């Protein structure tokens, strides 16, 4: 007969992480304009090995997924201006000059916080760069809707510190 473990049947303190408790740090962007971030993803792929009349599978190359940031666009400091300044490190449209990766790649820190503001989880996105940027749409049909910006960021890899 199985014996019940008291740790499994009695109350255990439990506080889940909440989606709206985070702070993201991107050099050149005030943290308070970062409205939302997609979760970090990784795809390990697969390699199929043929052996006589069976298949075996092993892990393929690991690829970190892109992360999409949604930003508010305040009048000052301008979120649109912060985004274009980072893009100018990638490519200067006036001169056609492209930048070195040392110039445009940044490290982004994404902290998940608890109810009192302590950091409970920290992701660092290493070698991040802007893949796509969108400055949003404008319309007379929208009555007082806040302007949002979006940017898709690619990176070399991520580190989960804790």
Cβ atoms of 56 and 36 within 8 Å: the answer is no
Determine the average pLDDT of the residues in 124-147: 94
The pLDDT-based confidence of 1 (bands split at 50, 70, 90) is: low
Q: What is the pTM of this model?
A: 0.87
User: What residue has token string 């319309």?
Assistant: 139
Contact of 23 with 108, CB cutoff 8 Å: no
For residue 33, give Cα distances in angstroms to 29, 140, 151: 7, 24, 13
Alpha-carbon span 61 to 71, nearest angstrom: 32
Which residues are 63's β-sheet partners? 43
For 47, the token pair is 């390699």
**pLDDT-based confidence at residue 3 (cuts at 50, 70, 90):** confident
């Amino acid at each position: 007969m199985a014996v019940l473990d008291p740790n499994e049947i009695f109350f255990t303190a439990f506080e889940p992480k909440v989606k709206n408790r985070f702070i993201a740090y991107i050099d050149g962007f005030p943290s308070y304009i970062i409205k939302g971030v997609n979760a970090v993803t990784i795809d390990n792929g697969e390699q199929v090995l043929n052996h006589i009349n069976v298949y075996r599978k092993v892990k393929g190359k690991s690829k970190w997924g892109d992360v999409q940031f949604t930003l508010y666009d305040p009048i000052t400091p301008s979120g649109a201006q912060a985004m274009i300044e980072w893009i100018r490190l990638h490519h200067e449209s006036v001169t056609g000059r492209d930048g070195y990766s040392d110039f445009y790649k940044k490290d982004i820190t994404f902290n998940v916080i608890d109810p009192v503001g302590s950091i409970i989880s920290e992701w660092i996105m290493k070698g991040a760069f802007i893949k796509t940027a969108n400055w949003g749409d404008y319309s007379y049909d929208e009555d007082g809707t806040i302007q949002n910006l979006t940017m898709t960021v690619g990176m070399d890899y991520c580190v989960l510190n804790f």
